[in-house]
Amino acid sequence: MATRSFAYAIASLLASFGSVSAHEHHDELSEVEANKPTDSILWIHICLQAAVWGVLFPVGMVLGITRSRWHVPLQSTGFVLTVGGYILGHSHKGRMFLPSAHGAFASVLYAPMAAMLFLGVYLKLHIHEQSIRPWAVRLHGIIGKSYPVFGWTQMLFGAIAYGGYCRGEELGQCLAHHIMGSGFIAYAVIMAIMLLVGEAWVRRSGRSPEWWDSWVIMLWGIVNTFTEHRGTTWSVKDMQHTILGVLWWAGGILGIYLARNNRRNVVPGVILILTGWAMSEHEQHLKLSTKVHAMFGITLMLAGLTRIVEVCVFSLPSKSLAEVVDDDNTSDHTLAEPSPRYPSSSRYIPVGDASVDTSKVAAAKAFRHLPPFLLVASGVIFMSGTDEELKLVHKNEMDHVTYLLIMFSISFLLYTLIVVIINLYATTGRNAPAKEDRNTIAMTPSRSKWYSRVPNAERGPLHVIGEDDEEE
């Protein structure tokens, strides 16, 4: 059934190239063409592709990682719906659009889609088990994990094309806002993964979360230092953006040094605070733009402040968790959700151990969502702060309060999607809870270094399955 679904998707994909004629895009549009109403076909295209690339494919990707039996049906459905959305996008009437990156990238996306379909069918055949198949599995995983990035990029391109933004002299500042805003959201996703289900990986890496943060900040700062200034004349914004790059790589170096020996530090949080303060002080032409940038800066400063609080106040105590049992699922770095593969930290605390403050654990689990959510909100607000977008908002006589509340609403929805997808990883497929009591069931161990060891219920709650306990 799964192979037939893949075959049907491939046939539909190939047929679409022959049956869909290129939608006519003009190099120049008349005012009448540009201002025609958006018809229902285009609205269906927008909603369908957003649902597929924004929700369906990321969920399918996670189900593939967890080896869920729903992975193949879900991805196959996504491929077929993408073809339908492509047809709709080239069949609408009414409003016309100039050639854009959205249209060009739509064609590029068919390369990874075709590769995924081919690899999916090949893997279902279970041939070349000892030679080609292991490499095909890795390639399939790499392409599959890139789907959220592809989808996010294409949806941004679509929103930009629909608004007619980022053309001519506006291209530079538009790219800066969307790339940096997307960077903050990506940072939030990585932080949420580490806080929610990344416990074992962080411990195996032998590095604290701030070590990874500091490397990213340092490398990003080096890039910014040499790319923010063009030409011979230095504007105020050129100087500010360039010195921010210097701030990042200088602070990143300090963060890397302080994070040696698996230690936590507050440098990434301090850098976020300073960056937020600098961006909030940017002078803007419109009062509306000044207000929006100020709120972006405040939100980013709060993200940095909450990160510092998480490090200094809400880190789980290392003595009660690390010394009770030598297990990869416990540390003072992250707070994994309870599940068979990610058991609750309290499960490793002996009864009557007064050294553990359970109220602190509960507070930490509630507080841990603040830094990544505020980073998501920062990214969304920054992407919505381009000159063209704010000029349109000003023209429609919308105040900054209404506009910012809309952005925060979008941030809530986006972070909800992030958390739901992360939770799917911890509760589906090979990570799904067994029907028996989750506190007593022992999962089948794996030899892979990427899989966590779990407690063995038969040998007591504190026994950990080791290499010698694995069955052949």
Task: Give the total number of structural domains in the chain.
Answer: 2
84 found inside a domain: yes
Same domain, 184 and 149: no
Same domain, 179 and 226: yes
362 found inside a domain: yes
Question: Would you state the pLDDT for residue 169?
Answer: 83
463 found inside a domain: no
309 found inside a domain: yes
- What three-state secondary structure class fits 465? coil
- Using the 3D structure, point to which of 132, 164, 196 is the last residue of a domain: 164
H-helix segments, 323-386: 358-367, 370-383
311 found inside a domain: yes
Residues in the chain: 472
pTM for the full model? 0.78
Per-residue pLDDT reduced to its tens digit, 390-407: 999 989 989 999 999 999
Q: What is the mean pLDDT of residues 59-69?
A: 92
Same domain, 130 and 46: yes
CA–CA separation, 82 and 13 (whole Å): 9
448 found inside a domain: no
User: What is the number of other CB atoms lying within 10 angstroms of the CB of residue 32?
Assistant: 8
Same domain, 342 and 408: yes
447 found inside a domain: no
455 found inside a domain: no
Same domain, 38 and 62: yes
Question: Would you state the pLDDT for residue 136?
Answer: 94
Same domain, 213 and 357: yes
**Percentage of residues in the chain with pLDDT exceeding 90?**
41
Per-residue pLDDT reduced to its tens digit, 77-110: 999 999 898 888 888 787 778 888 998 998 899 8
Residues 336, 337, 340, 343: is their CA dihedral positive or negative?
positive
Q: How far is CA 9 from the centre of its chain?
A: 27
327: left (phi over 0), alpha (psi -120 to 50) or beta: beta
Same domain, 324 and 216: yes
Question: Would you state the pLDDT for residue 287?
Answer: 85
- Using the 3D structure, point to which of 130, 148, 164 is the last residue of a domain: 164
Confidence of residue 32 (pLDDT cuts 50, 70, 90): low
Q: How far is CA 244 from the centre of its chain?
A: 24
Same domain, 123 and 231: no
Same domain, 189 and 149: no
Confidence of residue 234 (pLDDT cuts 50, 70, 90): confident
Same domain, 289 and 430: yes
Q: What is the mean pLDDT of residues 426-442?
A: 67
Same domain, 155 and 187: no
Question: Does 156 have pLDDT greater than 90?
Answer: yes
Range of the domain at 52: 1-164
Question: Would you state the pLDDT for residue 279?
Answer: 86
Question: Does 55 have pLDDT greater than 60?
Answer: yes
Same domain, 230 and 193: yes
Question: Does 442 have pLDDT greater than 50?
Answer: no
CA–CA separation, 175 and 184 (whole Å): 14
